[in-house]
Homo-oligomer: A and B are copies of this chain.
Amino acid sequence: MHKEHTLTKNQQIIFDIIDKSPEPLKAYSILFNVQKKGIKAPLQVYRALDKLVEIGKIHKIESRNAFIACQNSSCQVAKATAFSICEMCEKVTEISSTGLSKYLTNFKDKEGMKYSKYNLEFFGLCKKCRT
């Protein structure tokens, strides 16, 4: 069981936009979209994004500087994320594979070190773009 976070006003506004979007959103694109709702400055967006990432409601796609809602019922494992990214249409899908996450959390480097936190981004062509 994980703690329920009640989102604040700004956090909720920004989460809703990201959650409704079929594509990852960039911070300034979010800013543009929420200006009618009274959020005027980049910092207000970045603060909400930081918090949403921290509590696992959204994830940052590092290679794209963009944000996507967690597709995994608000990741218990906010800090162990995996995505597939289409290099043609930029579609991003969160991968939820217990096999993969087990493999990675159990992976030991040459010094025997394990890591519970990781981010993995796969690149390729999505089903639609392959045909």
Contacts and interface: CB of A to CB of B under 8 A. Distances in A.
Copies of this chain present in the complex amount to 2
B127 A118 contact: no
A116 interface: yes
Contact of A122 (B93, B117, B123): B117
Interface string A96-131: 010010011001011101111111111110010000
11 contacts: A84-B115, A93-B109, A100-B107, A104-B120, A104-B122, A107-B122, A111-B127, A115-B124, A118-B121, A118-B122, A119-B123
A97 B118 contact: no
Binding site secondary structure of chain A: mixed
Interface of A: 62-63, 79, 84, 93, 95, 97, 100, 103-104, 107, 109-111, 113-124, 127
